[in-house]
Structure 1
Amino acid sequence: MTNRHLFDEAGGQPAFLARLEQVAAAHLAALILREKDMEEGDYEVLAREVQILCRRHQVPFIAHTFAGAAKRLHADGLHLPLPLLRTMRQEGRALPGRLGTSCHSLEDVREA
Structure 2
Amino acid sequence: MKCDKKDLLLYGVTDRAWLRGRDLADVVEQSIQGGVTMVQLREKDMDPEAFFEEAKRIQAVCRRHGVPFLIDDDVDLAARVGADGVHVGQHDMEAGLVRSKVGEGMLLGVSAQTVEQALRAQAAGADYLGVGAVFPTGTKTDADSVSYDTLKAICEAVDIPVVAIGGIGPDNVDKLAGSGICGVAVVSALYAQDDPCAAAQTLAARTKAMVEA
In the superposition, relative to structure 1, how do residues 99 and 105 fare at CA in structure 2: closer, same or farther (>3 Å)? same
For residue 11 of structure 1, what is the aligned residue in structure 2? 21
For residue 71 of structure 1, what is the aligned residue in structure 2? 79
In the superposition, relative to structure 1, how do residues 27 and 55 fare at CA in structure 2: closer, same or farther (>3 Å)? farther
- Please identify which structure carries the higher helix content: 1
**Alpha-carbon separation, structure 2, partners of 1:111 and 1:96:** 18
Identity %: 29
- Structure 2 counterpart of 1:111, one-letter code: R
For residue 104 of structure 1, what is the aligned residue in structure 2? 113
TM-score by length of structure 1 reads: 0.80
Q: Which has the higher contact order (CA 8 A, sep 6+)?
A: 2
Residue 5 of structure 1: how far off its partner (Å): 0.7
SS at structure 2 position matched to 1:70: helix
Higher Rg: 2
**Alpha-carbon separation, structure 2, partners of 1:5 and 1:30:** 20
For residue 40 of structure 1, what is the aligned residue in structure 2? 48
In terms of mean alpha carbon deviation, does 51-60 or 29-38 score higher?
29-38
Residue 77 of structure 1: how far off its partner (Å): 0.8
**Alpha-carbon separation, structure 2, partners of 1:42 and 1:88:** 28
TM-score by length of structure 2 reads: 0.45
Measured on the aligned residues, the alpha-carbon RMSD in Å equals 2.3
In the superposition, relative to structure 1, how do residues 27 and 56 fare at CA in structure 2: closer, same or farther (>3 Å)? farther
In the superposition, relative to structure 1, how do residues 47 and 38 fare at CA in structure 2: closer, same or farther (>3 Å)? same
In the superposition, relative to structure 1, how do residues 61 and 92 fare at CA in structure 2: closer, same or farther (>3 Å)? closer
**Alpha-carbon separation, structure 2, partners of 1:103 and 1:40:** 27
Q: Deviations along 1:45-75, whole A, 9 cap, x unmatched?
A: 1111100111111111111111111111111
Q: Which runs of 5+ in 2 are unaligned?
A: 1-12, 122-213
In the superposition, relative to structure 1, how do residues 6 and 54 fare at CA in structure 2: closer, same or farther (>3 Å)? same
How many residue pairs align between the two structures?
107
